[in-house]
């Protein structure tokens, strides 16, 4: 069979599993007793083994097989996880990674493995036979262990996941065959009662034939049900037998779902379905230890991963090209614009039916939009997860002891940002390990904890995500930077004399501040930091450094969520309309001219006792005066950024609306008070105010 | 087969041309939303079927007397080097097909002319003179 078409899927899933293995191994090192983690890693290993065997990458299968042996013994408690084991397993993961790269480059993954194999074998030599027998049953052999399938049920992914999740959570899953007395004249009514009664003891996952067919009485005397319940088979039996005209049901408990590898390819068009075969002896008896084996239809679909994923609590995924998501996003954007237009028409021509339809459409559009936004977002965990391993290895090489603490890994960012942010972060963390955190002696001399600490934090702030990379190392000495900047001829002595410590520290982000002399002089910082900065700025983000000499450095990266559709308040000044993102608005209010105080040409007012600086949008945007009549009372939009508040004076508050952010052309250069543009319901373009640029 | 196709247009009674492969479409003048803090020759943006496109006032860009909008005014949508922009002109004349040999280098223009850097060639059509714009230069920001 030609497996080459599954290559991409194989590669992606192998990478995913390897990454997961590495991650779990590291967590396992911290809590070696955690059996769940062991289970997870065992499953990943098993998956890779199966996949590589199917794809005939035998070397890879061999390595994973040996790893599995060790893991199996660890699971059974026959071995104890030591750092040596972790190292060995990590090495094996590295080797597997190299093989994956080799395969991706057209090779067969045939790398020299003898050394690692012997190491793995030595470690696993205890109880070798037992383990081998238990887990090394080949797919074919396993199939022979199954008895003849009595019924074959097609489960879709959702149903399958539901079943496995339920079993994981300690619920029972039953396969029922209910028989209605053949003399019954109201079979569909009986079926209805069956459903109703069963709903009281559990949840019906699936019926064969479908519920609709059953309701339409398109079945003979019996039909099948899959039900999840917390009750015992007896309870379910009684519940069924309480119904008139019911005969003895067949109840089989499904207590285990075994993920079998394909030994043959079934219809690949059906990749979302898997065959379910039950092993049963006598259908009439109630059994509780039956196993249902879900056989994966085809390698090369996500189906093969899903069972493991569900059990380990990892998010399930399908892979979609970014370009498809982008067009989906654009289409939804267009839809939102049309919706806004329709809203205007509806207001102009009030027809009740139109209003109803519009409201319905609004809700659907809002949901659609919400989902599209969510689809594009990925947790930053996908980026963060590789750093613990890197820090561990790097610290070891440098003979340092460094812990890395991750916070806010579930913070979600647009996938385009996720794809790009890894590299700059890697750079910052490597810098922190290499140059930021001191060696043991220096730390001891400064009275610091022997173990260095790097914290990597992600959090939301308005329409931004803030990522902080902080170390408790030696910090950056502003004086050293001052000297270097002058020595390198980047600034004059007068210029640097005027700079405060923070401005000086941030000079290391300047291009050109990266030569070798500078590095040694300023505690090793500055290596390619301008590259980091330009990368982040290319993502419309910003980076800033806070550093306290002797006690540490913090890099603060702000990134836009790139939410393409946001809630905004539309305001007008003369005959121009502007949009202010709602996330920056703290309140709207009004002010009379005599309540405005002038201090040195700047306007202020008191808002609930606090001094609030005012800015007139008309002045900021140089809006030409028009003949529009104005009230003396002025409308005020109070915007905030961090702890700073400013009152923006506008002519009219038009209202709140969702807007689709469109970029303004690069032709304009950088206009920092404009965040983008949007198209309003009447087809006009309105500019979106960048509040952070205003403050 | 050394032909080039140009679209000729006029602003302040001077005739210019842009190679046709740079031109996406030609639209009537719609509402232009003013863009604050932009170069004086970039008055603002328009909505081109859901896309926000900047408009360049060619009279200002080429230091010519100010144009007055009329029925014949058009916006030529030009896409070049990843940038899409609309050129606001007095009128669009025609499509001109020319043999390359008709195009002379801009060197014959007096180099004192401040706009010479935007011109990449000159085409003579009998009595008419078409100045062929260099769109790359036109799209460069300048800080005058």
Q: What pLDDT score was predicted for residue A565?
A: 67
Residues A540 and A576 in one domain: no
Among candidate residues A517, A538, A560, the one where a domain is terminated = A560
What residues in B contact A334, CB-CB < 8 Å? 50
DSSP E strand boundaries for A472-510: none
Domain extent at residue A641: 565-694
* Domain-embedded: residue B144: no
Contact across the interface for A337 and B46, Cβ inside 8 Å: no
* Mean pLDDT to the nearest integer, A37-59: 82
What is the rounded distance in angstroms from the CA atom of residue A465 to the CA atom of residue A444?
36
Contact across the interface for A667 and B42, Cβ inside 8 Å: yes
Chain B residue at shortest CA distance from A335? B50
Among candidate residues A283, A312, A341, the one where a domain is terminated = A312
The alpha-carbon gap from A229 to the nearest alpha carbon of chain B, in Å, equals 52
- Catalytic residue selected from A252, A431, A506, A635: A431
Residues A33 and A20 in one domain: yes
Contact across the interface for A665 and B36, Cβ inside 8 Å: no
CATH code, domain with A582: 2.40.50.180
* Domain-embedded: residue A317: no
Among candidate residues A253, A284, A312, the one where a domain is terminated = A312
Non-local CB neighbours of B6 within 8 Å, separated by 6+ positions: B17, B18, B19, B20, B95, B96, B97, B98, B123, B130, B132
The alpha-carbon gap from B46 to the nearest alpha carbon of chain A, in Å, equals 6
Residues A580 and A551 in one domain: no
Q: What pLDDT score was predicted for residue A577?
A: 93
A431 is catalytic: yes
Which residue out of B34, B58, B61, B81 would a mutagenesis test of the A interface target, given it has the greatest number of A Cβ atoms within 10 Å? B34
A594 is catalytic: no
Give the single-character DSSP code of A314: P
Domain count, chain A: 5
Residues A373 and A389 in one domain: no
Residue B43 has φ and ψ, to the nearest 5°, of -65, -30
What is the rounded distance in angstroms from the CA atom of residue A336 to the CA atom of residue A357?
15
The answer to whether residue A311 scores a pLDDT higher than 50 is: no
Q: Which residue has the higher pLDDT, A639 or A28?
A: A639
* Domain-embedded: residue B143: no
Residues A166 and A294 in one domain: yes
First CA to last CA distance, chain A: 65
Which positions 94-123 of B are in contact with A (Cβ < 8 Å)?
none
CATH code, domain with A149: 3.30.70.1110
The alpha-carbon gap from A571 to the nearest alpha carbon of chain B, in Å, equals 15
Residues A386 and A354 in one domain: no
- Catalytic residue selected from A22, A46, A72, A506: A46
* Domain-embedded: residue A415: yes
Chain B residue at shortest CA distance from A622? B36
* Domain-embedded: residue A152: yes
- What CA–CA distances, in Å, run from A317 to A8, A51, B4? 16, 18, 51
The alpha-carbon gap from A589 to the nearest alpha carbon of chain B, in Å, equals 26
Q: What pLDDT score was predicted for residue A149?
A: 34
Chain A residue at shortest CA distance from B34? A576
Contact across the interface for B33 and A685, Cβ inside 8 Å: yes
Which positions 15-34 of B are in contact with A (Cβ < 8 Å)?
31, 33-34
Domain count, chain B: 1
The answer to whether residue A692 scores a pLDDT higher than 80 is: no
Query: What are the pLDDT digits (tens) for A520-551?
Result: 444 444 457 777 887 787 676 788 888 888 88
Residues A71 and A162 in one domain: no
Query: What are the pLDDT digits (tens) for A119-139?
Result: 888 776 644 433 333 334 334
Parallel/antiparallel/unpaired status of strands A250-254 and A257-260: unpaired
Q: What pLDDT score was predicted for residue A642?
A: 65
Which positions 31-90 of B are in contact with A (Cβ < 8 Å)?
31, 33-39, 42, 44-47, 50-54, 56, 82-85
Sign of CA pseudo-dihedral A161, A166, A168, A174: negative
* Mean pLDDT to the nearest integer, A303-308: 36
Question: Mean pLDDT for chain A?
Answer: 76
For A626-691, the DSSP string reads: -S----SSEEEEEEEETTEEEEEEESEEEEEEEEE-BPPPGGG---TTEEEEEE-TTS-EEEEE-H
Residues A231 and A327 in one domain: no
Q: What pLDDT score was predicted for residue A283?
A: 39
* Domain-embedded: residue A502: yes
Domain extent at residue B116: 3-138
Sign of CA pseudo-dihedral B91, B92, B93, B98: positive
Residues A149 and A132 in one domain: no
Sequence-distant contacts of A490-497: CB under 8 A, at least 24 apart: none
Residues A465 and A547 in one domain: yes
* Domain-embedded: residue A515: yes
The alpha-carbon gap from B101 to the nearest alpha carbon of chain A, in Å, equals 33
* Token pair listed for B99: 């043999």
The beta-carbon neighbor of A576 closest among B34, B54, B139 is B34
The answer to whether residue A328 scores a pLDDT higher than 60 is: yes
The answer to whether residue A357 scores a pLDDT higher than 80 is: yes
Q: With beta carbons less than 8 A apart as the criterion, state whether A357 and A339 touch.
A: no
The question of ipTM being above 0.95 is answered as no
- What CA–CA distances, in Å, run from A29 to A25, A69, A311? 6, 18, 21
**pLDDT confidence band for A227 (50 / 70 / 90):** confident
Q: What pLDDT score was predicted for residue B18?
A: 92
What residues in B contact A686, CB-CB < 8 Å? 33
CATH code, domain with B73: 2.40.50.180
Collapsing DSSP to helix, strand or coil, A76 comes out as helix
For chain B, list residues with pLDDT below 70.
1, 106-114, 141-144
A46 is catalytic: yes
DSSP bridge partners of B79? B84
* Mean pLDDT to the nearest integer, A169-193: 79
Sheet holding B74-80, edge to edge: B23-28, B74-80, B83-89, B51-57, B44-48, B33-34
Residue that the structure tokens 């999840």 belong to: A228
* Domain-embedded: residue B116: yes
Chain A residue at shortest CA distance from B84? A665
Question: CA A299 from chain center: how many Å?
Answer: 25
The alpha-carbon gap from A639 to the nearest alpha carbon of chain B, in Å, equals 20
Residues A412 and A550 in one domain: yes
Q: With beta carbons less than 8 A apart as the criterion, state whether B130 and B16 touch.
A: yes
CATH code, domain with A419: 3.30.565.10
The answer to whether residue A273 scores a pLDDT higher than 70 is: no
The answer to whether residue A306 scores a pLDDT higher than 90 is: no
Contact across the interface for B52 and A683, Cβ inside 8 Å: no
- Catalytic residue selected from A13, A16, A68, A250: A68
Which residue out of A665, A680, A690 would a mutagenesis test of the B interface target, given it has the greatest number of B Cβ atoms within 10 Å? A665
């Amino acid at each position: 069979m030609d497996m080459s078409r599954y290559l991409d899927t194989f590669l992606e899933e192998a990478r995913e599993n390897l990454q997961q293995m590495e991650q779990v191994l590291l967590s396992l090192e911290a809590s070696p007793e955690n059996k769940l983690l062991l289970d997870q890693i065992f499953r990943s290993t098993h998956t890779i083994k199966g996949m590589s065997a199917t794809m005939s990458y035998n070397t890879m299968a061999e390595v994973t097989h040996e790893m599995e042996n060790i893991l199996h013994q660890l699971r059974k408690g026959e071995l104890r996880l030591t750092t040596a084991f972790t190292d060995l397993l990590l090495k094996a993961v590295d080797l597997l990674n190299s093989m994956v790269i080799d395969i991706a480059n057209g090779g067969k993954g045939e790398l020299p493995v003898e050394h690692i194999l012997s190491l793995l074998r030595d470690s696993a030599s205890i109880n070798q036979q037992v383990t081998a027998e238990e887990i090394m049953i080949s797919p074919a052999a396993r199939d022979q262990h199954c008895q003849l399938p009595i019924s074959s049920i097609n489960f879709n992914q959702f149903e399958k996941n539901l079943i496995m999740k339920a079993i994981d959570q300690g619920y029972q899953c039953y396969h029922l065959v209910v028989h209605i007395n053949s003399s019954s004249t109201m079979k569909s009514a009986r079926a209805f009662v069956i459903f109703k009664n069963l709903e009281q003891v559990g949840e019906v996952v699936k019926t064969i034939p479908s519920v609709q067919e059953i309701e339409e009485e398109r079945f003979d005397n019996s039909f099948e049900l899959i039900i999840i319940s917390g009750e015992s088979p007896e309870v379910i039996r009684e519940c069924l037998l309480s119904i008139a005209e019911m005969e003895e049901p067949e109840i089989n408990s499904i207590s285990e779902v075994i993920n079998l590898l394909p030994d043959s390819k079934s219809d690949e068009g059906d990749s979302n379905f898997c065959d379910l075969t039950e092993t049963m002896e006598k259908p009439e008896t109630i059994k509780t230890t039956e196993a249902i084996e879900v056989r994966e239809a085809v390698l090369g679909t996500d189906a093969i991963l899903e069972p493991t994923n569900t059990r380990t609590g990892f998010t399930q995924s399908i892979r979609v090209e970014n370009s498809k998501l982008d067009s989906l996003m654009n289409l939804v954007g267009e839809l939102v614009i049309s919706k806004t237009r329709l809203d205007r028409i509806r207001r102009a021509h009030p027809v009740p039916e139109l209003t109803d339809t519009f409201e319905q459409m609004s809700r659907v559009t809002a949901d659609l939009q919400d989902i599209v936004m969510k689809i594009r977002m990925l947790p930053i965990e996908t980026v963060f997860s590789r750093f613990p391993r890197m820090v561990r290895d790097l610290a070891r090489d440098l003979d340092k002891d460094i812990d890395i603490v991750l916070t806010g890994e579930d913070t979600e960012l647009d996938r385009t940002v996720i794809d790009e942010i890894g590299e700059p972060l890697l750079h910052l963390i490597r810098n922190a390990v290499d140059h930021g955190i001191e060696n043991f002696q220096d730390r001891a001399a400064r009275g610091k904890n022997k173990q260095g600490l790097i914290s990597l934090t992600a959090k939301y702030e308005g329409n931004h995500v803030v990522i902080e990379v902080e170390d408790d190392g030696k910090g950056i000495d502003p004086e050293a930077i001052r000297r270097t900047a002058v020595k390198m001829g980047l600034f004059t002595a007068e210029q640097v004399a005027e700079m405060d410590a923070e401005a000086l520290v941030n000079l290391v982000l300047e291009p050109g501040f990266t030569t070798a002399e500078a590095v040694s002089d300023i505690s090793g910082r500055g290596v390619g930091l301008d590259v980091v900065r330009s990368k982040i700025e290319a993502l419309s983000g910003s980076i800033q450094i806070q550093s306290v000499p002797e006690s540490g450095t913090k890099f603060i990266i702000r990134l836009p969520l790139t939410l393409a559709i946001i809630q905004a308040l539309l305001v007008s000044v003369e005959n121009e309309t502007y949009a202010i993102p709602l996330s920056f608005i703290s309140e709207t209010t009004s002010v009379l001219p005599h309540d405005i105080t002038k201090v040195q040409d700047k306007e202020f007012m008191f808002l609930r006792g606090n001094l609030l600086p005012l800015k007139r949008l008309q002045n900021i945007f140089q809006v030409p005066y028009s003949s529009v009549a104005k009230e003396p009372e002025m409308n005020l939009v109070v915007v905030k950024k961090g702890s700073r508040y400013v009152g923006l004076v506008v002519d009219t508050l038009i209202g709140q609306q969702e807007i689709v952010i469109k970029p303004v052309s690069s032709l304009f250069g950088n206009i920092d008070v404009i965040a983008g543009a949007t198209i309003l319901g009447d087809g006009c373009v309105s500019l979106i105010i960048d509040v952070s640029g205003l403050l | 087969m050394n032909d080039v196709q140009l679209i000729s247009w006029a602003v302040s009674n001077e005739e210019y041309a842009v190679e046709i492969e740079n031109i996406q479409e030609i639209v009537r003048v719609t509402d232009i939303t003013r863009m604050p803090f932009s170069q004086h020759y970039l008055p603002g943006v328009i909505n081109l079927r859901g896309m926000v496109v900047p408009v360049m006032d060619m009279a200002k860009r080429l230091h010519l007397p100010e144009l007055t909008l009329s029925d014949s005014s058009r916006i030529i949508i030009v896409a070049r080097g990843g940038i899409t922009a609309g050129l606001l002109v007095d009128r669009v004349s025609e499509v001109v097909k020319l043999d390359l040999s008709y195009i002379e280098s801009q060197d014959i223009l007096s180099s004192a002319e401040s706009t010479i850097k935007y011109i990449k060639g000159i085409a003579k059509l009998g009595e008419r003179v078409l100045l062929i714009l260099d769109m790359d230069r036109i799209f460069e920001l300048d800080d005058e």
